[in-house]
Amino acid sequence: MTKIRIAIQKSGRLNEESLSILKRCGISIDNGKDQLKAAARNFPLEVFYLRNGDIPQYLRDGVVDIAIIGENVLIEKGEDISIATKLGFSKCKVSLAIPKSDAYSSVKDLEGKRIATSYPNTVRKYLEEKGVSAELHIINGSVEIAPNIGLADAICDIVSSGSTLFKNNLKEVEVMLKSEAVLAVSPNITAERKAILEKLLFRIQSVLKATRSKYVLLNAPNDQLDVILKILPGMRSPTVLPLAEKGWSSVHTVIDKDTFWEVIDELKQAGAEGILVCPIEKMVL
């Protein structure tokens, strides 16, 4: 039986979150200790555990069909590889940073400076767009130490919380790009495996939609029902059911989590009571 081959990071946070989203898609993977390859029990899928930086080439060569990878890695090493969907986790920035004690007014201050990075293509392109020429030192590993040992005047690296920069007495001065995990697709994927990808994408998008939404039930006085229904951004239209108490109705709908509190405040002001909020496991549209 044909299986789609997916690459995920061998270890670390992206590994854990990648396995988590596959699990929420109902895919059970037989993971053994230190395995480099594993099969799913209930879906035509094989998992390859690879180094993050190697994944773009494996996609390009058709060794794997799809991959969960940081968008920043694709920008650096795989701009020719297409993205099927963004996944909403492992968010970070790729930023330029300099010692805290150094003055900084604009990217022009980096003219002629030495920049340590493991993202040379990204930095080079960014500086060219800004009309800045700098000397790049390519380092595979921790670049934060470079200014402290006199190797560089600035660094370019991934920034999540900023704590690593703080510990190394550095400050972020330019955000070059924002990144998150994406599902990337090999340019050599076969039609048969593309059909499996479509099934996987359907599951992933159902999980992501559920993650971004909340299921809301509330009690509404009938004389305010029209006002309350206008506030609610339901999928098509909210469900309205009569309550045992005369003059009241129960309203069921889905609210996007990004606008959730604003909508709840409006509902309360419009007379809604007994508002119950529930998480959604899957959302099939």
DSSP 255: E
Please report the pLDDT score of residue 232 as a whole number.
85
Please report the pLDDT score of residue 52 as a whole number.
87
Set out the domains of the chain in order of their start, with CATH numbers. 4-90+180-210 (3.40.190.10), 92-179 (3.40.190.10), 213-279 (3.30.70.120)
Alpha helices by DSSP H, listed for 78-219, are: 120-130, 163-167, 191-211
pTM above 0.95, yes or no: no
Say which residues have a Cβ less than 8 Å from residue 155's Cβ, sequence separation at least 6: 96, 97, 98, 115, 116, 117, 143, 144, 146, 147, 170
Distance (Å, rounded) from C-alpha 211 to C-alpha 85?
15
Please report the pLDDT score of residue 155 as a whole number.
94
Q: What tokens does 48 get?
A: 């390859």
Distance (Å, rounded) from C-alpha 119 to C-alpha 51?
16
**pLDDT tens for the 285 residues of the chain, in order:** 899 999 999 988 899 999 999 999 999 987 765 678 999 999 999 999 999 889 999 999 999 999 999 999 999 998 889 999 999 999 999 999 999 999 999 999 999 999 999 999 999 999 999 999 999 999 887 888 888 888 899 999 988 877 888 888 999 999 999 999 999 999 999 999 999 999 999 999 999 988 888 899 999 999 999 999 988 865 567 889 999 999 999 999 998 888 889 989 999 999 999 999 988 888 877
Please report the pLDDT score of residue 243 as a whole number.
93
Q: How many CA atoms lie within 13 A of 217 on its CB side?
A: 8
Distance (Å, rounded) from C-alpha 37 to C-alpha 284?
30
Q: What sign for the dihedral angle of Cα 64, 66, 70, 72?
A: positive
